[in-house]
Amino acid sequence: MVVYNVTMNVDSGIEKDWFQWMKDIHIKNVIETGYFVDCKVFQLISDEPQGTTYAFQYFADAYEDVLKYQEEHGARLQMEVVSRYGDKVMSFRTMLEQVHQHIG
- Per-residue pLDDT tens over the stretch 65-103: 999 999 999 999 999 999 999 999 999 999 999 999 999
Q: Which CATH number fits domain 2-97: 3.10.180.10, 3.30.750.210, 1.10.760.10, 3.30.70.100?
A: 3.30.70.100
Residue 30 confidence (pLDDT): 98
- How far, in Å, CA of 17 to CA of 20, rounded? 5
pLDDT tens sequence across 16-75: 999 999 999 999 999 999 999 999 999 999 877 789 999 999 999 999 999 999 999 999
The alpha carbon of residue 36 and the mean position of all alpha carbons in its chain are separated, in whole angstroms, by: 11
Domain coordinates of the chain in residue numbers? 2-97
Q: What is the mean pLDDT of residues 12-17?
A: 96
